[in-house]
Structure 1
Amino acid sequence: MPPEPDADVATAVAGVDAGTVDERVRALVGSDAVYTIRELAERAGTSLELAHTFWRAMGFPNVGENHVVFTDSDVSALRSMASQLDEGRIDMSTAISLLRAQSHTTDRLVLWQTEALVEGLSRQLGIDDTSARRLFLDRVGGHTEVLEKQLTYAWRRQLAALLRRTEAEVATREPSADLGPGGADRYPLTRALGFVDMVAYTRRSTELGSAALADLVQTFEYTSRDVITSAGARIVKTIGDAVLYVADDLVLAAEVCVDLIAALTAKERMLPVRASLVWGEVVSRFGDIFGPSVNLASRLVDVAPAGSVLMDSATADELSARDRVGTFRMVPLPAAGLEGIGQVSPVELVRAAP
């Protein structure tokens, strides 16, 4: 039997008045809104144009000249960014990119955190989704300090790890390596790219209820994150039914591919999965990666049979040269036509028998 909600829970579930939400918002942004966007610019010592650019880059809708929206915390944030521009530490293009990065990331983050807390309340107290969301509005103040501290901690840890990886990568690379034949720009990063996706997800998702679909997607994402990150590879993005990851080492990336297929296949009620693996050059922007290698990996996974991992022949040759202990077997397959790429000779990656 689900637990009976106590009196405080029942009161909160019955309805959260606007004053409660106002109080929570004030605690987050520092006060009630007191400034228009023109007053925001004046107090921050910037142009009105920069204030508008700042707000739009943060991912928020345009505000009218007379709308009172901003607080002293907004003034402080705009002033800090303006000082970086004035001192020449960054240019406008960099400023906009940084603002978009943090806004896009935190928008996803707060949504993820909210859904996790709502789901937890629903599960723990045996209440429906609407009741859990009302209760979340009442109780969110008890979580904000911990969530904020954990965000700062995670950001510092992730930046520290990236600094170490970047140091190791550029230590042995000459600046001239950034130029290809004829002095043209090259894609600056060489990475192993792994794509893993669920087969027939679109059709199956239309047959599932919301709870079953959420469980399917959550199982896929959590399992993928656990296998990928615990091995030392890094997730670039997840797209519901697919995950793209990168690794600096091709053998490690191959191990992740094979292990992830096995881990997902072992999950109850999981759809069949398939994968691709490509070693190639990419460019990183907006927290994502781009380049012909990414396109190739995306197209290869589309033709991979369920339960298999496909590579192109160049990646297979590179892996064979690096796999000195014979961890894997390479199984050549018939040529396949890939949309936008043409004919490719795929090679299936199989873990060798012990």
Structure 2
Amino acid sequence: MIGGDRVHANANRLTTDYGGHVSQDVKGGLRDSRSADAGPPAPLAGPRPPRDTVERNVEALLHGPAKYTLCEAARKAGLEPESARKFWLSMGFPSLQDESLPRFRDYDVEAMRAHAKALASGDFTDETLASLNRAQSHMSDRLVLWQHEVLVEYARTELGLDGISARYWVLDNIKDYQDYLRAHMEYSWHRHMAALLRRSETEVAQMELLDAENAQLLRAFGFIDMVAFTNRSNELGSAEFIHLIEEFDYTCRDIIYAAGARVVKTIGDAFLYIADDLVTGAEVSTGIVQALRNIEGMLPVRASLVWGGVVSRFGDIFGPKVNLASRLVDVADSGAVLTDKDTAGILRNLRLGRYTLVPAGSPTLQGFGKIDAVELRRMPTA
């Protein structure tokens, strides 16, 4: 449960604080309740959280009010205005239409000053810093959106609010969660960086045996894809749709992480995962297909598994073998895990015993022509 006793204390004041859409009575009942799926609400009669509440939360996050123009902030940070503009854009924020208005705070100046110091140190090039900033801003943007939606869903399901009122509740109460979210983000960064360093040590040892300039990381990877997702999603209400994608997402992530593999990215109704060895890749691909098959109401899925070299960049993986995995999942039957002949040969040599490999025809794949496909099946447990 998110937030514990403090959240429930907040819930007890949800009378008409959030626009009158749904109101939790102090005695636990609902008054003037309106479902988020019942069509557009009537014009709001009750009070919303005042705008100054949101501004107070923003100022708390950014440590004070805006008081500098871009040029003033750049000067205080020791940057040229053009460098400050590039910094701002690399952090994922839009160009300023009117640079004469105060938009920046001391908090922004501190970040710009750190950027200027890093650039002056000679330890980074301008391009390196821009790439690091883009990575950080891209992931932060996705992270805060995810966190926001989790809190909105909490307010809907646990506090009895409709969708609009739940969002008002988050605007008003985000201050109660920001310390936890920030601390957990830092903890997560430390843990994932430590895990990456250990993986990288193994990768470097592997590269020493190869041409270091052209070495690709040998990995197992593949796609998990929901079948007929577009058609089915058009038939679902918003609550059912959210339930479907959450079940899919959580199940995939749980199995990928538990096996020791990693999520590369999600692409709408699909996952791209990667594992350090083929045994783990086989466990992930067959395990996800089997687990999702056992969930009532879940759409059927199909998967691919390929072993080969990849190039890692921008938190993503690239290479012909990645393209092959993408093409294989497109032609896989519902409930099947497809692999290529080379990967199947390695699996046979591993003599795992708990899988069978069945010829799956010779589909013609875009960019690859006709290939020999093989279906990977997990043998039923006794």
Pick aligned residue for 1:223 from 244, 247, 251: 251
Q: CA deviation at 1:133?
A: 0.9
Q: CA deviation at 1:116?
A: 0.4
**What does residue 226 of structure 2 align with?**
198
CA deviations on 1:161-186 (whole Å, 9 max, x unpaired) are 0001111221243175234xxxxx35
1:10 equivalent to 2:15? Answer yes
Residues 192, 247 of structure 1: 8 Å contact kept = yes
Q: What is the CA-CA distance between 1:326 and the residue it aligns to?
A: 2.0
Residue by residue over 1:205-250, the C-alpha shift from the partner in whole angstroms, topping out at 9 and shown as x without a partner, is: 1111111111111110000000000110000011231001000110
Which residue of the partner structure matches residue 211 of structure 1? 239
TM-superposed deviation, 1:353 = 4.8
Equivalent residue, structure 2, for 1:336: 363
Q: Which has the higher helix share?
A: 1
Equivalent residue runs for 1:149-298 within 5 Å: 149-174=183-208, 176-179=210-213, 185-186=214-215, 188-298=216-326
User: Match of 1:182?
Assistant: none
**Alignment map for 1:95-134 (pairs within 5 Å):** 95-134=129-168
1:144 aligns with 2:171: no
Question: What pairs with 1:298-337 in structure 2 (closer than 5 Å)?
Answer: 298-321=326-349, 323-337=350-364
Q: CA deviation at 1:327?
A: 2.4
TM-score, length basis structure 1:
0.94
- 1:191/1:280 contact within 8 Å kept: yes
| Further displaced range: 7-16 or 107-116 | 7-16
Q: Which amino acid is 2:362 matched to?
A: A
CA–CA distance in structure 1, aligned partners of residues 367 and 320 of structure 2: 10
Residue correspondences, number:
344
Runs of 4+ displaced beyond 3 Å: none
Cα separation, 2, equivalents of 1:175 and 1:59: 39
Match of 1:346 among 347, 367, 373: 373
Residue 30 of structure 2: aligned partner: none
2:62 to 26, 29, 32: 29
Shift of 1:328: 1.6
**Sequence identity (%):** 50
CA contact (8 A) 1:217 1:240 kept: no
Secondary structure, counterpart of 1:195 in structure 2: strand
Q: Is the contact between residue 12 and residue 138 of structure 1 (CA under 8 Å) also seen in structure 2?
A: no
Tell me by how many angstroms 1:84 deviates. 1.4
Q: Unpaired runs of 5+ in structure 1?
A: 180-184
Contact 2:11–2:159 (Cα < 8 Å) also in 1: no
| Alpha-carbon separation, structure 1, partners of 2:57 and 2:230 | 39
Report the AA paired with residue 193 of structure 2.
L
Separation in structure 1 between the aligned mates of residue 206 and residue 250 of structure 2, nearest angstrom: 35
**Letter of the 1:193 counterpart:** F
The 1-side partners of 2:170 and 2:298 are apart by 30
SS of residue in 2 equivalent to 1:223 = helix
SS in 2 for 1:69: coil
Distance, in Å, in 1 between the alignment partners of 2:292 and 2:352 is 26
Residue type matched to 1:168 in 2? Answer: T
Aligned residue identity for 1:10: T
Amino acid at match of 1:86: A
Q: Write the letter of the residue equivalent to 2:64.
A: S
Q: SS state of the match for residue 10, structure 1?
A: coil
| Cα distance change on mapping 1:40 and 1:6 into 2, 3 Å | closer
SS of corresponding position for 1:59? coil
Instruction: Work out the CA distance in 1 between the residues paired with 2:209 and 2:124.
Output: 22
Contact 1:282 1:290 in 2 (8 A): yes
1:308 CA displacement: 0.6
CA distance in structure 2 between the partners assigned to 1:142 and 1:217 by the alignment = 28
Q: Distance in 1 between matches of 2:84 and 2:361?
A: 58
Q: Following the alignment from structure 2 to structure 1, what is the Cα–Cα distance between the partners of residues 323 and 130?
A: 27
Greater alpha carbon shift after TM alignment, 139-148 vs 204-213: 204-213
SS at match of 2:147: helix
Question: Residues 56 and 247 of structure 1: is their aligned pair in 2 closer, same or farther, counting only changes over 3 Å?
Answer: same
Aligned counterparts of 1:231 and 1:154: Cα–Cα separation in 2:
19
For residues 299 and 15 of structure 2, the distance between their equivalents in structure 1, rounded to whole angstroms, comes to: 39
The 8 Å contact of residues 299 and 338 in structure 1, kept in 2 or not, is answered as yes
